[in-house]
Amino acid sequence: MTGSEASPSFRLAYVPGVTPTKWVRTWNERLPDVPLTLIAMSAAEASDVLLGGGADAGFVRLPVDRTDLSAIPLYTETTVVVIPKDHIVAAVDEVSAEDLADDVVLHPLDDTLEWERRPGLPAIERPATTADAVELVAAGVGLLVVPQSLARLHHRKDLTYRPVSDAPESRIALSWPQDKTTELVEEFIGIVRGRTVNSTRGRAPTPAQPKTKRPDTGGAQRKPAAGKSAGKSPRGGSGGPKGGKRGESRRRS
């Protein structure tokens, strides 16, 4: 466990664009006695935060160094281009990188996409952050290609975005130090993977209820009482005259 044995706690880091709300809610329902603290971090500093002990686990953007970090890929994001609402690209549902060839495409220093060849024309200077780049798009300086969650995070009323069909995608993963897979980390992994509270790796599975035992009859079936066989009258066959009367009439004849 993290923290002291008397008062355990869990620190969860996350990069911009990730919304951990649903997982945190489940944690609070299952482990109300273990407080969870959220820690915001940039994509570039994620590995240092986790390896330096700043968090027990974190939502990161792949790739990460698998030498020291474990990672469970969770989902892949759509890549979009952020544009002014009056830009010509806003008239279509989807674009390709080639469609941006004549536009200045901003490349912030905290860019999370890995390009072999970036689309568009390069800007004179690189913005320091994605937030700064969004401001430049609003000012008409250029366009910005980012994961969709970042476009939503930095939403402005005067901007919109469209999917880029052939752009690299960003993958989100849950990561933690390999040598610190604690009980609480296992608990959070189970929550993220959708394990129920009663699953085999859950924290407090509901014990199975003992079955009510039947009385031991020694394996023998009960015999009907004498003169009371099933479906027969006490003194003879079912439905016919009593056997005693038939025998009496024969003796008299």
Q: Tell me: the pLDDT tens digits for 147-159?
A: 999 999 999 999 9
Question: How far lies 5's CA from each of 8, 9, 11, 12, 140, in Å?
Answer: 6, 9, 15, 19, 55
pLDDT of amino acid 239: 47
Pairing assessment for the beta strands 159-163 and 36-40 based on DSSP bridges: unpaired
Report the pLDDT value the prediction gives residue 179, as an integer from 0 to 100: 94
CATH 3.40.190.10 positions along the chain are 10-76+171-192, 79-168
- Share the mean pLDDT of the chain: 84
Distance CA(92)–CA(106), nearest Å, equals 21
167-205 per-position pLDDT tens digit: 999 999 999 999 999 999 999 999 999 988 776 454 544
Selecting from 3.40.190.10, 3.60.20.10, 3.30.830.10, 2.60.40.10, what CATH number does the domain 79-168 have?
Answer: 3.40.190.10
Q: Find out if CATH 3.90.1300.10 is the number for domain 10-76+171-192.
A: no
110 alpha-carbon distance from chain centroid: 26
Which residues of the chain have a pLDDT value below 70? Answer: 1-6, 199-253
* pLDDT tens by residue, 7-19: 799 999 999 999 9
What pLDDT, on a 0 to 100 scale, did the predictor assign at position 196? 83
